[in-house]
């Protein structure tokens, strides 16, 4: 199953899953555990960062997809509520 289909199964809208999910997955790559990114931030899976991460943790592909889905949902929520981008009626305001 394609990554966009798996993200939609986790509850993301098709637009977010297709655009954000594919862009992030292709550019970040997948690491099934934690690692230090180039500037020393503990990172996991598809580029997830957070205070809950510690070096040496391992994740399944399903756990990584869930992290990606949550991260995309948070970022989209932030976008919708920002003054710079939101949907009003059927017109994008950016």
Question: Domain map of the chain by residue range?
Answer: 3-84
The pLDDT value recorded for residue 73 is 76
Are 74 and 52 in contact by the 8 Å Cβ rule? The answer is: no
Could you tell me how many residues make up the chain? 94
Q: Which of 73, 25, 74 is nearest to 45 (CA)?
A: 25
- Token pair of 86 as six digits: 């939101």
**What DSSP designation does 94 have?**
-
Q: How confident is the model at residue 14 (pLDDT cuts 50, 70, 90)?
A: low
Each residue's pLDDT tens digit, 30-89: 999 999 999 999 999 999 999 999 999 999 998 998 888 888 877 665 555 556 555 544
pTM comes to 0.64
Q: Where are the beta strands (DSSP E) in 18-90?
A: 31-36, 42-45, 48-49, 86-88
Residue 44, SS3 per DSSP: strand
Determine the CATH number of domain 3-84.
1.10.530.40
Choose between 27 and 3: higher pLDDT. Answer: 27
């Amino acid at each position: 199953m394609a990554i966009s289909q798996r993200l939609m199964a986790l509850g993301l809208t098709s637009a977010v899953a297709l655009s954000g999910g594919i862009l992030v997955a292709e550019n970040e790559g997948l690491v099934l555990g934690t690692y230090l990114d180039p500037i020393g931030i503990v990172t996991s899976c598809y580029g997830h960062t957070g205070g809950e991460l510690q070096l040496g943790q391992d994740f399944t592909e399903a756990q990584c997809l869930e992290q990606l889905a949550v991260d995309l949902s948070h970022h989209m929520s932030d976008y919708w509520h920002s003054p710079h981008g939101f949907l009003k009626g059927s017109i994008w305001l950016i």
